[in-house]
A and B are shown apart, each in its own frame.
Chain A
Amino acid sequence: MVNAATERARAIAGAVPDPEMPMLTLADLGVLRDVEVDDNGAVTAVLTPTYSGCPAIAEMRGEVDRRLREAGYGEVTIRTRLDPAWTTDWITPEGRAALAEHGIAPPRPVARGAASGPVPLVLSPTRPALCCPRCGSTDTEQTSAFAATACKALWRCRACLEPFEYVKEI
């Protein structure tokens, strides 16, 4: 059973914005896996990193720690959980809506078994095209496999001609 103290700590930690996509909270992103307050008031928060090389994880850890301490928790422990690995499927519906609102196309559901199957070798789109977050057209194409951060790709819409970013499913 989740007690009120845990609920409060979870809300505080979950509200920390992602350092690279600040329209998302850590709760939206799905990296905050667990928050617990024990009987002595000590809080433990568990984070799962997004990418192996993502420099934002240290930033997230520091900010969760700082906000919990500011909220009066004297003893704060941040743990990292690598297993199961983070997936974009953990981004919440609220998070997806926030991305779209900021002109970033949210990730599609992750295709299972991609690592063991054949390499997709068709240079034209093989999966349903992305919806342009500005005009909603599906007449879109990828222009770069990476964008301003490793977790995004760059696309453009052929209908409204605007470029947009897209959070790649992983």
Chain B
Amino acid sequence: MSEDHVYMTLVEEHGGDGARWAFGTGFEDPLYGIDTTVPTGVDTAQLAACCLALGDDALVLAQRLAQWCTCAPELEIEVGLANLGLDLLGQARMLYTRAGQVDGSGRGEDSYAYFRDPAEFRNVLLAELPNGDFAFSIARLLILSSWRLALFAQLAESPDPVLAAIAAKGVKELTYHREFAAEWALRLGDGTDESHGRMQAGLDETAEHLAELLMRGGDFGLDATSVRANVEAVLRQVADTAGLTLRLPTANTAPATACGRDGEHTDHLAPLLAELQSEARADPEASW
């Protein structure tokens, strides 16, 4: 390095490329240089729908996690949540790119993230709810990371090698996310009366959205029974250790009134997407 100033060094090193304005920009295709052939026999419509839905879950939750920046209870938590969001964003980028390769549209990641309206998003409702109390955000993170981990563990065996590789990578990341959320659920649930009450309230708020995750039959050809058993075992373990009461859906639970996987959303998704998409839509030619 010839400069003491980090930014000046970067500018100097990348001086030949005027489009770059910061380290980490100038992103290209996140599946660059990968064999993108779809094996014969793979149901491409189902594969594309799966990539899109899981990409949407990740993008929307990443945006919610990023919204904790500047207002998390501790600086360390803020950094943690932003980094969990970064992992999810990375997963979303690869999943969108794969969706565009197999759905016949040839669209890139930006097209899915920035140029679709709320009704075209397929994320589950739990991901789009406002952050609320920190305890609610932790309960949501615990549930969604446990559920996504169970889905990815199955998808790591997908007949599509690209999706299988994205999922196998994601399993490692999600294990850490789940651990981060579980530790906070334990710390708050088994903490003071105040923290226990708020953690219980946060968990209660998620209850009406669990049916959408656990009671729908095998989306994308996955084994829903196994996913449900896996997720419920994890949530029970954490709730028991933390002294929390878990309200899991049963056969008698009323079915979800709206389903994100069908494009039905709460009123909270539109403002989230408006914020996420405003820059790209104001200047569709912009690059970053």
**B238–A121 CB distance below 8 A:** yes
Residues 31-81 of A contacting B (Cβ, < 8 Å): 47, 49, 51-56, 58-59, 61, 77-81
Select from chain A the residue with minimum beta-carbon distance to B235: A119
A55 to B26, CA, bound (A): 10
B282 at the interface (CB under 8 A from A): no
Taking a contact as CB atoms closer than 8 A, the residue among A47, A59, A83, A146 that contacts B168 in the complex is A83
Q: Which residues of B contact A116 (CB under 8 A)?
A: 153
Which residues from B are CB-within-8-Å of A52?
Answer: 87, 90-91, 93-94, 166, 169-170, 173
A170→B175 CA distance, assembly (Å): 10
B222 within 8 A of A: no
Contact between A83 and B23, CB atoms less than 8 A apart: no
Interface residues in A, total, Cβ within 8 A: 40
A84 to B164, CA, bound (A): 10
- Minimum CB–CB distance from B166 to chain A (whole Å) comes to 7
- What is the predominant secondary structure among interface residues of chain B facing chain A? helix
Assess the A119–B234 pair: CB atoms within 8 A. Answer: yes
A97–B91 CA distance with the chains assembled, in angstroms: 31
- Chain A neighbourhood of B171, CB < 8 A: 115
Do residues A59 and B24 form an inter-chain contact, with CB atoms below 8 A? yes
* Chain A residues whose C-beta falls within 8 Å of the C-beta of B79 in the assembled complex: 144, 146-147
Contact A19 B87 (CB under 8 A): no
CB of A128 within 8 A of chain B? no
Within 8 A of B (CB), among A137-152: 143-147, 150
Complex Cα distance A146/B87, Å? 12
Determine the chain A residues whose CB is within 8 A of the CB of B21 once the complex forms.
none
- Whether A154 touches B33, Cβ cut-off 8 Å, given contacts A83-B168, A115-B174, is no
Q: Which residues of B contact A125 (CB under 8 A)?
A: none
- Kindly list chain B residues whose C-beta atoms are within 8 Å of the C-beta of A168: 176
13 A-B residue pairings within 8 Å (CB atoms): A52-B93, A58-B24, A80-B31, A80-B33, A85-B165, A119-B234, A120-B179, A121-B182, A121-B241, A123-B183, A144-B79, A145-B80, A170-B176
Name B's A-contacting residues (CB within 8 A): 23-24, 26-28, 31-34, 76, 79-80, 83, 86-91, 93-94, 149, 153, 161-162, 164-166, 168-176, 178-180, 182-183, 186-187, 234, 237-238, 241
The 9 A-B residue pairs with the shortest CB-CB distance, nearest first, are A53-B90, A52-B90, A82-B165, A55-B24, A144-B76, A79-B33, A53-B86, A83-B165, A85-B169
Additional A-B contacts beyond A78-B32, A115-B171, A146-B76 (5; CB < 8 A): A49-B169, A55-B23, A79-B34, A143-B76, A145-B176
